[in-house]
Homo-oligomer: A and B are copies of this chain.
Amino acid sequence: MKVELYGLRLPEVRPRDNLAKMVADAASKEAGGIKDGDVLVITSKVVSKAYGFLIRLDDVKPSKRALRIAGKTGGDPCFIQAVLDNSDEVLFILPFAKLVEKDVIRIERMSRNIAGAYEAIKRIPYILIVRRGGQIYSDAGLDFSNHPEGVVSVPPENMDEYAREIRRRILELTGRKVAVIITDTEMWISFGSLDFARGSSGIEVIHKGFGNLDLYGKPKFGGVDCIAHEIACASALLTGQTDEGIPAVIVRGYKYVESEESISDYQLSGNAMKLAVKEIIKSSINILGFKWLFKFFIR
């Protein structure tokens, strides 16, 4: 069994560009065209560029709340306002600079330009982890990099719709039936970043193998590979190489299950997220005792 990943170089993408056509053209050059059964993976950043989802921070007027948060975090009030404008709820605060200071995040293992790293951290000392619809984002997914000073890109809000739209256009342009996944990069404390599927169309998102019988006839606890995220991570091997200018990847030879389900079918509501945290805390106290709770407050 063999799966192939083709990185697609695109010219600089600008607002109102025809992204589907640019991808189809690149596929002709670099992957022998688009074929039936391909999975087309596109970074959310390039979708934001094509649809013009860019914010000039100078145009943002910070609210009292943004000013108060900025006063405590030392961040830019306009940027914080832009994060709040693009969030439904702030879930918690990740004190990035503090975790670097305390050596939990070991920045020297993630950087060959330590001075630049500290400059970047000074600009974003705290990260707001927010809920946006049913998805979790750091700083609402706003992204400074490779934009002029003072400009950030915003991920599109319902990425399933954009995935569906691009899939439809690819069919019109090429006559080929593909699945489309739109991805976004999220950073992890101390473990680097991974790419996640934020929108999809035409592919079963999660393998439905929970409870299937194993070789010994026992029902399986598991068997629920998140295919969409796995494809996002596979593609990140190519799109992550920013110097190469590869914002799209064709995954060929992977036999996915065709489906009209999409990423939003697996999203948790804000209440469900809070309920999950509550139930975890309740069970942990109940089973491990109250001393479990204190472990996080007392050294």
Contacts and interface: CB of A to CB of B under 8 A. Distances in A.
B236 A93 contact: no
Interface residues of A, number: 114
Contact of A114 (B1, B211, B278, B297): B211
B4 A2 contact: yes
A240 B119 contact: no
Given A144-B221, A240-B207, A296-B277, A226 B194 contact: yes
Contacts of A194: 225-226, 229-230, 233
What is the oligomeric copy number?
2
Given A72-B287, A120-B220, A190-B266, A113 B212 contact: yes
Given A111-B210, A120-B211, A281 B268 contact: no
Interface in A204-220: 205-216, 218-220
Which of A4, A124, A279, A287 has the most C-beta atoms of chain B within 10 angstroms of its own C-beta? A287
Contact of A224 (B69, B110, B224, B268): B110
Contacts of A146: 214-216
Nearest to A1: B7
A189 interface: yes
Interface stretch (A16-24, A96-104, A169-177): A96-104
A215 B226 CA distance: 33
Interface string A98-134: 1100111011011111111111110110100000000
B187 A145 contact: no
A233 B238 contact: no
A55 to B, nearest CB: 16
Contact of A226 (B94, B114, B192, B276): B192
A73 B236 contact: no
A6 interface: yes
Contacts of A223: 145, 242
Contact of A283 (B98, B144, B212, B288): B98
Interface of A: 1-7, 30, 69, 72-73, 90, 92-95, 98-99, 102-104, 106-107, 109-121, 123-124, 126, 144-149, 185, 187-195, 205-216, 218-227, 229-234, 236-238, 240-242, 244, 246, 254, 265-266, 268, 272, 274-284, 286-288, 292, 295-297
